[in-house]
A and B are shown apart, each in its own frame.
Chain A
Amino acid sequence: GENVEQHPSTLSVQEGDSAVIKCTYSDSASNYFPWYKQELGKRPQLIIDIRSNVGEKKDQRIAVTLNKTAKHFSLHITETQPEDSAVYFCAASIRYSSASKIIFGSGTRLSIRP
């Protein structure tokens, strides 16, 4: 069945350093890969996404890369700041006729050390 694996489960980096979270997916029909940030007690918020026809996308300090052949995708956060501390979820989505089924990774708890 569909599966998304995410590593690491926890990540602690010094403020100003970079953080990298990696995911793999199993279903080759997946064609959309969103990343969500969830702060404690809050809703998951979409921070960046990438479609299957693109290899890389950047938005200010965050970037995502996608390797469809290897079924790998990654989130890169540069110049980390305290407000980046949260749980990050990768996901792989398959589009059906009128809905998208998103399979989430297990999450990475990112802590930024001052």
Chain B
Amino acid sequence: DTAVSQTPKYLVTQMGNDKSIKCEQNLGHDTMYWYKQDSKKFLKIMFSYNNKELIINETVPNRFSPKSPDKAHLNLHINSLELGDSAVYFCASSRYYEQYFGPGTRLTVT
């Protein structure tokens, strides 16, 4: 009965590759988010979708493209991966204020 799930949990890939991370929530929430947590543990919002519509788009490189096929899913596709993309990526969902996080995907770019 996992509330917010992400796949994969770990992702190791080489520079220049393209990869995707998937997120699903079964809480019935309308809004989903992607966050990046860097090596210093700093958490920063990247995107937010509400019912498949992009609401928040922070200053994220165009190589990052979120896609929401329905309000329970929000995927993150990353093109031309760079070393600096190495981080933990968290998906989250909310109905109003409270946000609930997924388990995270640790991306390592070599």
Contacts and interface: CB of A to CB of B under 8 A. Distances in A.
Interface residues of A, number: 26
B6 to A, nearest CB: 9
B41 A102 contact: no
Interface in A19-47: 32, 34, 36, 38, 42-46
B27 to A, nearest CB: 13
The 8 closest A-B pairs by CB, nearest first: A98-B50, A99-B55, A43-B101, A99-B48, A104-B43, A32-B97, A99-B31, A107-B41
- By size class, the interface of chain B is 20 to 34
Given A98-B50, A101-B48, A104-B42, A43 B103 contact: yes
B66 interface: no
Interface of A: 32, 34, 36, 38, 42-46, 49, 51, 87, 89, 93, 95-104, 106-107
Given A98-B31, A107-B41, A43 B99 contact: no
B50 A99 contact: yes
Main secondary structure of the interface of A (DSSP, over half): strand
Main secondary structure of the interface of B (DSSP, over half): strand
A43 B97 contact: no
B90 interface: yes
Interface in B21-53: 30-31, 33, 40-45, 48-51, 53
